């Protein structure tokens, strides 16, 4: 029966104990539970508990060559002004340039190692929009992919659209970008005829 597909002597050891496994590795979880039961590590009386195993890996492992590593570290140094941790800098660059999966890109983003010039140009452009370093820090936390967007074809073009079509500039533009920076990377306008690129479509605006 389907309801008994996960049953084992361990899991029915005591009707007062119940376990909910959130990891597919049931064998590993079961061995840990068995250890605690045999050693009596849990306080009595035993009550219904939830046992969850969480992966400690929050980002994909970055695989960089010896030639790429100095360039990557230089780009991280460009982000140091925003007081991110080294891990946060890796995540931001990783999501922007395809090393860490991001639903924003779908399957279109190929891995690349950015240049310091590219990162600095994008940061300088964001500053030109009257965004302070504190503003940019908040923006990067919400939308790290902005660093991987094309400066000419997306960022500048989209800001121009916001100004000319919607009349959003100056302080209202700053407020918009702090609230929702993703329009900076929009590159599709389906006009109601879905193109299955919703994360980058003006229909979301």
Helices (H), the chain: 26-39, 68-79, 86-96, 116-128, 133-142, 157-166, 170-179
Q: What is the pLDDT of residue 77?
A: 97
Q: How many CB atoms lie within 10 A of CB 203?
A: 15
The model's confidence at residue 197, banded by pLDDT at 50, 70 and 90, is: low
Tell the burial category of 167 from Cβ atoms under 10 Å away from its Cβ (0-12, 13-18, 19+).
exposed
Select from 203, 192, 75 the least CA-distant residue to 144: 75
Mean pLDDT within 151-180:
96
Q: At residue 4, does pLDDT exceed 90?
A: no
Q: Say whether 201 sits in a helix, a strand or coil.
A: strand
Query: Omega before 137 cis (within 30°)?
Result: no
Q: What is the pLDDT of residue 180?
A: 95
Q: Say whether 83 sits in a helix, a strand or coil.
A: coil
Q: At residue 39, does pLDDT exceed 90?
A: no
Cα distance between residue 79 and residue 92, in whole Å: 9
Structure token pair of residue 145: 């992919």
Cα distance between residue 129 and residue 171, in whole Å: 9
The model's confidence at residue 191, banded by pLDDT at 50, 70 and 90, is: low
Cα distance between residue 144 and residue 137, in whole Å: 10
Structure token pair of residue 171: 């302080």
Point out the least confidently predicted range of 29-43, 91-105, 164-178, 188-202.
29-43
pLDDT tens for residues 53-96? 232 334 446 889 999 999 999 999 999 999 999 999 999 999 99
Place of tokens 């999501």: 95
Domains of the chain: 1-56 (no CATH), 68-204 (1.25.70.10)
Residues counted in the chain:
205
How many CA atoms lie less than 13 Å away from 14 in the CB half-sphere? 13
pLDDT tens for residues 94-153? 999 999 999 989 877 899 999 999 999 999 999 999 999 999 999 999 999 999 999 999
* Distance (Å) of CA 124 to CA 56, 127, 131, 153, 175: 35, 5, 10, 16, 18
Percent of the chain with pLDDT over 70: 63
């Amino acid at each position: 029966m389907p309801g008994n597909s996960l049953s084992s002597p361990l899991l029915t050891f005591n009707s007062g104990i119940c376990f909910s496994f959130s990891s597919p590795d049931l064998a590993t979880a079961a061995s840990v539970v068995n250890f605690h039961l045999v050693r009596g590590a849990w306080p009595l009386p035993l009550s219904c508990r939830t046992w969850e195993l969480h992966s400690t890996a929050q980002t994909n492992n970055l695989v960089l060559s010896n030639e790429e590593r100095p360039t990557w570290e230089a780009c991280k140094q460009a982000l140091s002004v925003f007081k991110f941790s080294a891990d946060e800098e890796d995540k931001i660059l990783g999501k922007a340039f395809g090393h860490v999966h991001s639903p924003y890109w779908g399957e279109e983003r190929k891995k690349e190692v950015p240049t310091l010039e590219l990162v600095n140009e994008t940061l300088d452009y964001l500053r030109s929009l009257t965004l302070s370093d504190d503003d940019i820090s908040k923006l990067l936390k919400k939308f790290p992919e902005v660093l991987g967007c094309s400066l000419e074809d997306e960022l500048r073009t989209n800001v121009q659209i916001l100004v000319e079509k919607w009349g959003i500039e100056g302080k209202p533009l700053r407020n918009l970008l702090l609230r929702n920076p993703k329009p900076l990377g929009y590159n599709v306008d389906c006009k109601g005829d879905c193109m299955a690129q919703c994360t980058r479509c003006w229909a979301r605006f």
